[in-house]
């Protein structure tokens, strides 16, 4: 369902999909950023005046951080191990981050091309603490685009 004019999506409901497989229990995603270099062309115009033109340059590859509560699911662990052992054919994955509306229908998809895990960080462990332990997976990709 399309949003009415002047309404916006709420980011509380989203999903993560890699090679058609839904990855569950993701609590936070950060680093969704599409950026490219800016090239400055400095020249003198026909009238002799100094002119600066800004042109689009190369795309920059983003790093996306996925956070979830620590669980017995080992999908992140296997992905990291394969990356550490250089099995890049199995490690590079196509995927998408999907934002859903209130009714559960997809509102927007962000496509990741050739994504692979850069790092895995386990949350702080502190005796007597009652907070949820988390793991953060940093994924790098060659391209991020809106579908």
Token digits of residue 145: 């685009």
Say what the pTM is. 0.78
Q: What is the pLDDT of residues 124-145, one digit of tens each?
A: 888 998 888 999 999 999 999 9
Q: What is the pLDDT of residues 12-71, one digit of tens each?
A: 788 889 887 888 788 899 999 999 999 999 999 889 999 999 999 999 989 999 998 888
In a domain, 9, yes or no: no
In a domain, 99, yes or no: yes
Q: What is the pLDDT at residue 73?
A: 80
CATH number for position 119: 2.30.110.20
In a domain, 55, yes or no: yes
Q: What is the pLDDT of residues 112-127, one digit of tens each?
A: 999 999 999 998 888 9
């Amino acid at each position: 369902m399309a949003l009415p004019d002047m309404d916006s999506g709420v980011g509380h409901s989203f999903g993560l999909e890699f090679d058609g497989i839904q990855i569950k229990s993701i609590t936070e995603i950060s680093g969704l950023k599409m950026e490219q270099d800016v090239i400055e062309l400095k020249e003198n115009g026909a009238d002799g005046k100094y002119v600066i033109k800004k042109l689009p340059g190369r795309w920059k590859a983003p790093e996306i951080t996925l956070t979830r509560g620590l669980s017995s699911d080992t999908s992140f662990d296997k992905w990291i191990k394969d990356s550490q052992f250089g099995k890049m054919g199995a490690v590079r994955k196509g995927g998408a981050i999907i934002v859903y509306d209130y009714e559960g229908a997809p509102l927007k998809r962000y496509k990741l091309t050739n994504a692979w895990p850069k790092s895995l960080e386990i949350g702080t462990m502190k005796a007597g603490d009652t907070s949820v332990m988390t793991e953060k997976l940093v994924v790098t990709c060659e391209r991020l685009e809106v579908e």
